[in-house]
Structure 1
């Protein structure tokens, strides 16, 4: 029997002195391998079995030798170095005949091999088609039970280039995303890494998914892994716990395109940053595409190592801005059409004028109106829209200034507004000042230098440090977090 040309790792033939020189029959070898699975899991443990042995599939049998296919060269080499002698011993004990094991790299069965195995073992189940990760080609066969860290997220079918509404605020990001997709399709990744940043609900994730869909449609064999930074961190920790870090590294470093959403959430997680740093370097050096999103530019990310910030900003970094009114109106029209609901131009115009923060809130407001109209049967008029969305309009119509923030924070922490501008460094003054700087960045569109000037002419690095400090304190200081939330609610009129 033959198998596809591939890297092969062969074990030395088993000694047959105690078993006789006769090799095991082909069908018996395959049957014995399948029967041994529960024993292998019990012997080596569920985590190691799932990571290294379950992915192996028999692809050829001849002269007492069972050839197993591994999905990657790393897994093949690891099995060769750590498991093959024991696998041979298990087979020989089971068959009472000499047996040998070879491991080769073949992520998918070829048709000739599948037919050959079917002839050797007519009762065997057909090999299932590989299951994709994030909609892309499989990294492991479907039948293999995978450790939790070996799965990614699927791409959202709603988020394609065709469904993205462009305008002045996002046309550069849109064009660049298409350029990245085209470059990956051509096998020449560009703008590496491609880093999109901006506020919540502005289309960063949509563009990331669109890149994945475009590459997948044009080049289905491309392996794509998409996940959030929290999932990257969770999977890394889970792999550490399962003692499967080598397999984790192999999975992440063996893809053609890695896409991670909201990379800012690895802030302060030193071991996760270390692992991501090395993964990033390997992928870029090997010409693989990396696509990332965050809520701010790389150099503004708090509690991220400087060397990682430098790597993140070494490709193409683009900010996605809030859509202008014309684009907001186009988004609403497209959304209404997708909902198969006819809205008057006056109602659409009303929404576009009053909800300017982000696309997600805009679409949420429209969904709310459509649901109300369908449930009550009332026609949607501008007056009815104002009534149903009065809480949203109240929030979005209020423009928050740095002066407002300084006054509310001073009241909350019982200090003078003048202390916001003073050079005093006493803790009872410095901490509220840092809170005010943090809120100024969160609730206004002002830059770090602008905020620094509003706080007594301070340098922008002081503002960045303040934002990083408060960001790190919020999860650990519940009282401070509550005070910040109270100030935020007051400022937003909630």
Structure 2
């Protein structure tokens, strides 16, 4: 028991970052069902108990924001249905907290737990009684027996099956179909991580161990993790795959230790080690939690020794994770490190094309965005794919509600009203000076009438960026380039747009100028 006390001491120090409730509430809820109570408690009472444990495990803020929005909907012999106020909330809870909800429910009742949106239950048609209900594989130690005159609403398993028969695409929508390999846009900045992810999903033999995908928030790491999970199970339904966030890892670990029983800790270890593929998101979250770090390290070692695959994602390189133990850093660095860097201009354009295609396939078939408007968005939003998607969504929504078409001018105006507007928008003069520095020419040369390519091409780049990054009119831009006509500016913009599709070196120079302007 000494090792158990050591683990308990470490976990208790992490309590403040994973729970806001005290031990009294947890102990009250620890064993809510005894043999005498089992036959009398109903599903709603069990849900009340589970809610208390969720609040204790996740903390009041997280519980109120997510799992606290779940409500008991219905039950039958094989399953219970919990509903969320929207499909987005249901999807979020399912992906991030679904395993925890089911684990806590299973402590009191072995029936399946299905999480759905209220709209999915209300709008469904009567369920065919011949539709089979998926049964739990877990032995039922406690059975809630319904009374003879009790009527049940259809379980979510039945609702989903009926909806899928009526609309095959609906089931995919409910299963986070956005996070697939097919929807992941690949470029030089993420091609290694993508290739490794595909290999992990397609083979049962460990590729490298462990694998860590690292990069800033919003780069697509979580997208890849879910794609791996879905593809791995689709290719081999018998493959045991577990995807868990580091936050949930810590919360569940602390809960198991606070239970002060070897069986709870063993159950926690088993849930992570009895798998063929373990995927952990946001691994950096565990950095300042020494007890959880030690447990994670032991889990990684056990799985590697057993020939199982491990893949983690973090927002930084192991050596940059503050307060991570040297042993954990060393172990992670001993595997394969795949970084995801900032998207280049071409990749941002392709992401925009994919966003437009997806929107057309989801109720807006006539959506049209001219190429110059796409170029402007891709040039202006040069941060993460998530930022680019956010800017695109805000622009499209604003113009849709205002009943205005998507044009370069309207997109520029919409961005000016969004959080992506810049209080330090570059001036034409600043753009010219940044271009002269990048291409090693003088300001006099860029304003001159010289037509030599070494001078003319940088001049066209400066005109192009002036059009993309400022609100100056074409005639005004022309005047600032030695009194040129607006048609010269139009020609320069079109020429650079065409060259960007085929000249990587020019693309890189434009990226350098854009980055310099941000400074």
Structure 1 length-normalised TM: 0.50
Closer, same or farther: CA 334–41 of 1 in aligned 2, 3 Å: same
Closer, same or farther: CA 142–320 of 1 in aligned 2, 3 Å: farther
The gaps in structure 2 that reach 5 residues or longer are 1-33, 54-130, 144-173, 361-366, 427-517
Matches within 5 A, 1:271-350: 271-340=291-360, 341-350=367-376
How far is 1:237 from its partner? 1.0
Closer, same or farther: CA 347–369 of 1 in aligned 2, 3 Å: same
How far is 1:179 from its partner? 1.6
Closer, same or farther: CA 336–281 of 1 in aligned 2, 3 Å: same
**Partner residue in 1 for 2:249:** 232
Q: What's the CA shift string for 1:115-135, capped at 9, x where partnerless?
A: xxxxxxxxxxx996356xxxx
**Partner residue in 1 for 2:384:** 358
How far is 1:377 from its partner? 1.1
Closer, same or farther: CA 290–130 of 1 in aligned 2, 3 Å: farther
Q: Which of the residues 234, 238, 245 maps onto 1:221?
A: 238
Q: What's the CA shift string for 1:217-240, capped at 9, x where partnerless?
A: 100111211121111101111122
1:195 aligns with 2:221: no
Closer, same or farther: CA 395–283 of 1 in aligned 2, 3 Å: farther
Q: What's the CA shift string for 1:231-259, capped at 9, x where partnerless?
A: 11011111222341121111111111111
Q: What's the CA shift string for 1:85-140, capped at 9, x where partnerless?
A: xxxxxxxxxxxxxxxxxxxxxxxxxxxxxxxxxxxxxxxxx996356xxxxxx7x5
C-alpha contact 1:155 1:209 (8 A) present in aligned 2: no
- SS of equivalent residue, structure 2 residue 188: coil
Closer, same or farther: CA 130–281 of 1 in aligned 2, 3 Å: farther
Matches within 5 A, 1:129-278: 129=134, 140=138, 156-183=176-203, 187-243=204-260, 244-278=264-298
Closer, same or farther: CA 235–193 of 1 in aligned 2, 3 Å: same
- Structure 2 Cα separation of the partners of residues 338 and 292 of structure 1: 28
Closer, same or farther: CA 37–355 of 1 in aligned 2, 3 Å: farther
Q: What's the CA shift string for 1:202-221, capped at 9, x where partnerless?
A: 11111111111111110011
- Structure 2 Cα separation of the partners of residues 382 and 246 of structure 1: 60
1:392 aligns with 2:420: yes
How far is 1:266 from its partner? 0.6
Matches within 5 A, 1:478-489: none
How far is 1:335 from its partner? 0.5
C-alpha contact 1:161 1:210 (8 A) present in aligned 2: yes
Closer, same or farther: CA 294–393 of 1 in aligned 2, 3 Å: same
**Partner residue in 1 for 2:404:** 378
- SS of equivalent residue, structure 1 residue 205: helix
Closer, same or farther: CA 168–142 of 1 in aligned 2, 3 Å: farther
- Structure 2 Cα separation of the partners of residues 142 and 173 of structure 1: 42
Closer, same or farther: CA 204–143 of 1 in aligned 2, 3 Å: farther
The gaps in structure 1 that reach 5 residues or longer are 1-34, 51-125, 132-137, 146-153, 399-491
Closer, same or farther: CA 247–176 of 1 in aligned 2, 3 Å: same
Closer, same or farther: CA 179–242 of 1 in aligned 2, 3 Å: same
- Structure 2 Cα separation of the partners of residues 287 and 230 of structure 1: 25
- SS of equivalent residue, structure 1 residue 283: helix
Closer, same or farther: CA 269–40 of 1 in aligned 2, 3 Å: farther
Closer, same or farther: CA 293–373 of 1 in aligned 2, 3 Å: same
C-alpha contact 1:201 1:359 (8 A) present in aligned 2: yes
How far is 1:156 from its partner? 3.4
Larger Rg: 1
C-alpha contact 1:262 1:295 (8 A) present in aligned 2: yes
C-alpha contact 1:182 1:215 (8 A) present in aligned 2: yes
Q: How many pairs does the alignment contain? A: 270
Structure 2 length-normalised TM: 0.48
Closer, same or farther: CA 293–312 of 1 in aligned 2, 3 Å: same
- Structure 2 Cα separation of the partners of residues 314 and 241 of structure 1: 33
C-alpha contact 1:212 1:224 (8 A) present in aligned 2: yes
Closer, same or farther: CA 156–127 of 1 in aligned 2, 3 Å: closer
- Structure 2 Cα separation of the partners of residues 330 and 143 of structure 1: 53
- Structure 1 Cα separation of the partners of residues 142 and 256 of structure 2: 17
C-alpha contact 2:39 2:142 (8 A) present in aligned 1: no
- Structure 2 Cα separation of the partners of residues 396 and 143 of structure 1: 65
How far is 1:41 from its partner? 11
**Partner residue in 2 for 1:461:** none
